[in-house]
Amino acid sequence: MSTNKVEPQRAEVTPNRPQSSTCLCVINSNLVTETLWHFLEISTFSVPPPCWLLLFSCLFFISYLSVTFLRKEEGTPGPRPLPLLGNLLQIDLKRPYKTLYELSKTYGSVFTVYLGTNKVVVLAGYEAVREALVNYAEEFGEILCFVGILFANGESWKELRRFALTTLKDFGMVIEEHKGMIFFLCINFTGNAFDTALPINYATANIISSIVYGTRFDYGDPVFKRMVKRANQSICVTGSASVQVGSKHSVKKNRTEDIKNLTKHLKDTLEPGLCRGLVDCFLIRKQKEEVRQYENLTFTVSNLFAAGTDTTAATLRWGLLLMAKYPHIQGPRGAEPVVGSRQVCVDDRKNLPYTDAVIHETQRLANIVPMSLPHQTSQDVTFKGYFIKKSISPWFPTGNYCVSLLTSVLYDESEWESPRTFNPSHFLDKNGQFVKRDAFMPFSAGRRMCLGEGLAKMELFLFFTSLIQRFRFTPPPGITEDELDLTPAVGFTTLLHLICCVRFKGNDCSAVSDKLEI
Ligand code: HEM
């Protein structure tokens, strides 16, 4: 029976990651801390005290000037920044998107906030965000620059994105994973309260493994367990103060070591003409073209794991929380797929408009990537009457970049009838048929739009329907539906810590493995 049984406890969604607000803010506030710290270290040992004070005053003065001058020059509205700290004291660092959304109500669809001395232009509301990302794709369509797909620009990004899209298409149909997840839930947790994070993260990580390495792992495999744990840890601590100052290297090293070991094994066993997964395709292609950039492979794999595991898993967990909170939506008259006892398949989606609407509404309300990825402006641009300068790297004290506030799109009061409530009717017409909504933009828009959208949608549909077809999700014992809290904890994505109770609808768990052909 269950080895992973957890004590029933209050299913509150607690902010369980106190130091990790989004990367965005912490990187900047930590940049200030780190620079000051570094400065103090140097000063303490090599500069006499009066010079130290003088230097400190100069730094302070320069930052103040840069902040005030930049504001005057560009004239976008926004709250008044403090020297060095900018608007950090006004922003809820655990949920910065909430503050930014509130500020957008005062300052409109284009405004500026300062995170430390870095200037961030915030684009808010469906109309402004879409216009910037789609109509001004050239100017706003670059991601803040590092390497890999997520953070690359220019030719290197184009090549990697094209390559990943082609390979994701080839392997995206490897979606048998829900069988493994259902079996795991059934055997280990049925009738118990359990944390949904573990099985769901295993399932989504295994999908990326199948695509990337060409193989799935057993949930009990110690290497796999370690990999998932490390991936989660690095998502949790990305941007945390301690990581920025000290242990950043060790987290990255842990993560890339696993990837390097696995890719080395694939390289050693590579058979030309047999492409087991994305890594093989990359190796074969690069061999042919004799191109450098081997390092990009590690980054690409690491990016796909980071982008493709946590996001889909968090959305699914939101779905289960919402089902536990609104039990009437779970049943056969609600989202449960009415397809008999057979396995749901992708083609069923068009015949299940209500289920489809529930999944879309879950994504809208969950608002998983509330501030998208930070973008840079590739050139000076005048947007909605405001002059926005070409971006300077945020590693400089006067750095500047842009944030597309997806929260403000998904909760846009002029687009959604009841933006703050879980209302699947947002996606249904009066005949109960599914309708697409333009302001449904959890994957962002434009040329940097999520590369895994198709895969994520397929995963969400198959996992969600398979789960509610076979299980009933309820709050843990002693907790009422009303007490289930929908306040998210924030890491890079809006996560939650959900303990929920699961009941298998059938009589015999062991029959599941035969039915699912595991
Ligand atoms: C529900 C699940 C997901 C959500 C809500 C989501 C959301 C996003 C968002 C908002 C962006 C930023 C777009 C921009 O900068 O404008 C993004 C980028 C990206 N996502 Fe996803 N994503 C999800 C699942 C996935 C999956 C499963 C994969 C991998 C297979 C993936 C891979 C990527 C990549 C590689 C990028 C960077 C694209 C580029 O820079 O060209 N995502 N995603």
> From CA 373, how far away is CA 263, in angstroms rounded?
27
> From CA 291, how far away is CA 37, in angstroms rounded?
41
Based on the number of CB atoms within 10 Å of its own CB, is 160 exposed (0-12), middle (13-18) or buried (19 or more)? buried
Mean pLDDT in residue range 426-439? 96
Give the range among 96-100, 300-304, 319-323, 455-459 with minimum mean pLDDT: 300-304
Q: For residue 427, give the DSSP letter.
A: G
Is 450 known as a binding-site position?
A: yes
Confidence check on the interface: ipTM exceeds 0.85, yes or no: yes
- Residue the block writes with tokens 């590579």: 270
The answer for residues whose C-beta is within 8 angstroms of residue 191's C-beta and 6 or more apart is 501, 502, 503, 504
Using CA atoms, how far residue 334 sits from 326, 426, 504, in Å, is 10, 15, 18
Which pLDDT score is estimated for 517?
44
> Taking 80 as the threshold, does the pLDDT of residue 62 lie above it?
no
Q: What percent of the chain has pLDDT over 70?
A: 71
pLDDT band at 138 (very low <50, low <70, confident <90, very high): very high
User: What pTM was estimated for this model as a whole?
Assistant: 0.80
pLDDT band at 39 (very low <50, low <70, confident <90, very high): very low
149 lines ligand 1 (CB under 6 A): yes
> Taking 80 as the threshold, does the pLDDT of residue 467 lie above it?
yes
Nearest residue to 454 via CA among 167, 158, 154: 167
Cα of 377 vs centre of ligand 1, distance in Å, is 20
Task: Give the atom of ligand 1 at the shortest distance from the alpha carbon of 369.
Answer: 10
pLDDT band at 233 (very low <50, low <70, confident <90, very high): low
Residue 225 near residue 197 (C-beta atoms within 8 A): no
Cα of 74 vs centre of ligand 1, distance in Å, is 31
Which pLDDT score is estimated for 225?
83
pLDDT tens-digit map of 164-175: 777 776 655 556
86: left (phi over 0), alpha (psi -120 to 50) or beta: left
> From CA 157, how far away is CA 173, in angstroms rounded?
24
Which pLDDT score is estimated for 291?
47
Report which of residues 52 and 244 the model is more confident about.
52
Which pLDDT score is estimated for 280?
83
b vs e for 302-337, b when ≥16 Cβ sit within 10 Å of the residue's Cβ?
bbbbbbbbbbbbbbbbbbbbbbbbbeebbeeebbbb
> From CA 371, how far away is CA 490, in angstroms rounded?
12
Residue nearest to atom 6 of ligand 1 (CA): 443
> From CA 370, how far away is CA 490, in angstroms rounded?
10
Q: What 3-state DSSP class applies to 296?
A: helix
pLDDT tens-digit map of 107-133: 999 999 998 888 999 999 999 999 999
118 lines ligand 1 (CB under 6 A): no
Which pLDDT score is estimated for 49?
62
443 lines ligand 1 (CB under 6 A): yes
451 lines ligand 1 (CB under 6 A): yes
> Taking 90 as the threshold, does the pLDDT of residue 438 lie above it?
yes
> Taking 80 as the threshold, does the pLDDT of residue 51 lie above it?
no
Most confident of 6-15, 316-325, 486-495: 316-325
> Taking 90 as the threshold, does the pLDDT of residue 434 lie above it?
yes
81 lines ligand 1 (CB under 6 A): no
Mean pLDDT of the chain: 75
Q: Which of 168, 305, 311, 376 to mutate to test the pocket of ligand 1 (most atoms within 8 A of CB)?
A: 311
Mean pLDDT in residue range 170-199? 73
Cα of 460 vs centre of ligand 1, distance in Å, is 14
315 lines ligand 1 (CB under 6 A): yes
Give the range among 10-24, 260-274, 402-416, 463-477 with minimum mean pLDDT: 10-24
> From CA 220, how far away is CA 436, in angstroms rounded?
40
pLDDT tens-digit map of 372-391: 989 999 999 999 999 998 88
407 lines ligand 1 (CB under 6 A): no
H helices within 326-437, ranges in order?
327-330, 353-366, 406-410
Mean pLDDT in residue range 264-288? 79
> Taking 60 as the threshold, does the pLDDT of residue 11 lie above it?
no
> From CA 8, how far away is CA 193, in angstroms rounded?
6
Which pLDDT score is estimated for 48?
57
Q: What 3-state DSSP class applies to 517?
A: coil
Task: Give the atom of ligand 1 at the shortest distance from the alpha carbon of 442.
Answer: 5
Give the range among 234-238, 268-272, 397-401, 415-419 with minimum mean pLDDT: 234-238
> From CA 482, how far away is CA 26, in angstroms rounded?
34
Which pLDDT score is estimated for 56?
72
pLDDT tens-digit map of 330-376: 877 788 787 777 888 888 999 999 999 999 999 999 999 999 989 99
161 lines ligand 1 (CB under 6 A): yes
